[in-house]
Amino acid sequence: MADDIVHSPEFVTLVGAGQAGKAELRLALKLAPRAVAADGGAKMLLNCGKRPEKIIGDLDSTDRATLEKIPVSDRLHVAEQESTDFEKCLARIRAPLIIGVGFLGRRLDHQLAVFNALVRHRGAPCVLLGARDVVVHGRVPLALDLAPGMRLSLFPMARLRGESQGLQWPIAGIDFAPDGRIGTSNRVVSAPVRLGFDGPGMLIILPRKALGAVVRALAGESGRAAAG
């Protein structure tokens, strides 16, 4: 049903109930001004003076006082327990790009579940923003305008191979696997950094200051996909 989907021609900030500071949220909202809450993330948005356009989830993490500040028409209750609130939101947002805040840190099991959902998601591109890092799924080839010396880590959530340009330690010919070879603490030597993989499953982890470069790269890929 159309009412079950958030349609936005602009970037969307998706806010979860995990560890998040006002600085991260304001940074995300500057780039993606439309805001959606994943259940308990509504409280963080309201505390920053921003009412979510929608709150999506099973709504078991939102206190009554917070929920009463959101019109019933803007609450999307998804009762099933087979998916996380993050997954429920990803499945219901149609936008050029999503910036997720409040999904990194606090609980390790929740963070791992978010990574699992991120590599399975095939809808709008999504980048996760934390206090120190940004994380994106390298599901399409990316050209990232990153400063020389910047750290760039790769963590595979599946068995795969890739190609790179602009890294101190090239990745061509390496068999990556979550229980085998990983790519922690590589380093940028020249821009643009080009990364491509032979299948889904690679998480690209960068410092928070790389958010703008990641958003530009993802927005470009999203636009090319739409044009095709």
Query: pTM (2 decimals)?
Result: 0.91
The Cβ-side half-sphere exposure at 98, using a 13 Å CA radius, reads 31
Domain spans in the chain, listed from the N-terminal domain onward: 7-131, 142-197
Summarised one tens digit per residue, pLDDT across range 5-53 is 899 999 999 999 877 788 899 999 999 999 999 988 898 899 888 999 9
- Rounded to the nearest 10 degrees, the angle between the axes of helix 211-227 and helix 22-31 is 30
DSSP string for residues in the chain = -GGG-EE-SS-EEEE-SSS--HHHHHHHHHH--EEEEETTHHHHHHHTT---SEEEE--SSS-HHHHTTS-GGGEEE---SSS-HHHHHHTTEESS-EEEES-SSS-HHHHHHHHHHHHH--SS-EEEE-SSEEEEE--S-EEE---TT-EEEEEESSSB-EEEESBSS--TT--B-TTSB-EEEEEB-SSSEEEEESSS-EEEEEEGGGHHHHHHHHHHHHHHHHH-
pLDDT at 74 over 70: yes
Tokens of 217: 């790269």
CATH architecture of the domain with residue range 7-131: 3-Layer(aba) Sandwich (3.40)
User: What is the band of 3 on the pLDDT scale with cuts at 50, 70, 90?
Assistant: low
pLDDT at 222 over 70: no
Alpha-carbon gap, residue 97 to 136, rounded angstroms: 12
pLDDT at 81 over 80: no
Tokens of 17: 């109930």
What amino acid occupies position 104?
Answer: L
Q: Quick one: average pLDDT of 155-182?
A: 97
Q: Is 142 exposed, middle or buried, given 0-12, 13-18 or 19+ CB atoms closer than 10 A?
A: buried
Contact between 19 and 102 (Cβ < 8 Å): yes
Give Cα 19 to chain centroid, integer Å: 14
Alpha-carbon gap, residue 9 to 90, rounded angstroms: 16
Contact between 194 and 142 (Cβ < 8 Å): yes
Summarised one tens digit per residue, pLDDT across range 111-165 is 999 999 999 999 999 999 999 999 999 999 999 999 999 999 999 999 999 999 9
